[in-house]
Amino acid sequence: QKEVEQNSGPLSVPEGAIASLNCTYSDRGSQSFFWYRQYSGKSPELIMFIYSNGDKEDGRFTAQLNKASQYVSLLIRDSQPSDSATYLCAVFTVIQGGSEKLVFGKGTKLTVNP
Amino acid sequence: NAGVTQTPKFRILKIGQSMTLQCTQDMNHNYMYWYRQDPGMGLKLIYYSVGAGITDKGEVPNGYNVSRSTTEDFPLRLELAAPSQTSVYFCASSYSKVASEAFFGQGTRLTVV
């Protein structure tokens, strides 16, 4: 099982709709969870992080974490064409020897149609 | 604010050549990372460092080497370049491991021919 898995998509939603992006992770000891947005040809940029079970809201974005199910999601309300990008889920995970690293999923490509 | 600076932005190498990708951050971050991103794929961790003098392998370390002599710098060395190393390379840094933001450089697009 891969450490961090995302639906590769692509995901297409109409403008104004809610986009739902999902991510699962394998290590129950993981502590913190991140959503990055990456526009084509650009570097990733952080949208949100979450480390407690439940929801965290920031403007049009809501991150949801369920540690029991090892599941984290990102909801984008009132989707805009400018939200069209690849969304990367990242998890701080423990590896051999007790060190930690930031592990990324493959990303989900989102297209918001005007 | 410079943040994370990578050089060069683009490079074409011939098979068997070597090169060093430079990465510098001015945020006094302990953690630094090198990732590669192949077309249409996510980021794969090559090497990472938790502080000066400490480095460790990630998912795909073969064909690469790193060093971390200072907090600021984390160069990535490619020895005997191969076409399989054609990719976009990202350097990133973060202050701590919990609830921290990883800042990325602008990337280096490397082609090996």
Across chain B, which has 113 residues, the per-10-residue mean pLDDT values are 90 96 95 91 89 91 96 96 96 77 92 96
Q: What mean pLDDT comes out for the span A60-76?
A: 96
Cα of B78 vs its chain's centroid, Å: 11
Could you tell me which residue, B2 or A79, shows the higher pLDDT? A79
Which of A14-18, A49-53, A68-72 is predicted least confidently? A49-53
Contact list in A for residue B89 (CB cut-off 8 A) is: none
* Pairs of CB atoms within 8 A across A/B: 56
CB contact under 8 A, B98 and A92: yes
What confidence score (pLDDT) does residue B2 get? 76
What confidence score (pLDDT) does residue B20 get? 97
| Contacts of residue B20, Cβ cutoff 8 Å, sequence gap at least 6 | B75, B76, B77, B78
CB contact under 8 A, A31 and B97: yes
CB contact under 8 A, A104 and B42: yes
Residues 31-70 of B with CB under 8 A from A: 33, 35, 41-45, 48, 50, 56, 58
Which of A57-61, A85-89, B38-42 is predicted least confidently? B38-42
What confidence score (pLDDT) does residue A18 get? 97
Computed over every residue of chain A, the mean pLDDT equals 90
CB contact under 8 A, B50 and A99: yes
Contact list in B for residue A32 (CB cut-off 8 A) is: 97-100
Looking up tokens 């930690």, which residue turns up?
Answer: A100
What confidence score (pLDDT) does residue B97 get? 63
What confidence score (pLDDT) does residue A1 get? 60
Which backbone phi and psi does A81 adopt, to 5 degrees? -55, -30
SS3 (DSSP) at B92: strand
What confidence score (pLDDT) does residue B59 get? 86
Which backbone phi and psi does A97 adopt, to 5 degrees? 90, 0
Under a CB-based contact definition with an 8 Å cutoff, are residues B68 and B55 in contact? yes
Which backbone phi and psi does B70 adopt, to 5 degrees? -135, 165
Judge residue B14's burial from the number of C-beta atoms within 10 Å of its C-beta, 0-12 exposed, 13-18 middle, 19 or more buried.
exposed
CB contact under 8 A, A102 and B33: yes
Question: Is a pLDDT exceeding 80 seen at residue A94?
Answer: no
What confidence score (pLDDT) does residue B39 get? 83
What confidence score (pLDDT) does residue B4 get? 95
What one-character-per-residue DSSP string does A44-92 give?
Answer: -EEEEEE-SSEEEEETTEEEEEETTTTEEEEEESS--GGG-EEEEEEEE
What confidence score (pLDDT) does residue A89 get? 94
CB contact under 8 A, A92 and B97: yes
What confidence score (pLDDT) does residue B110 get? 96
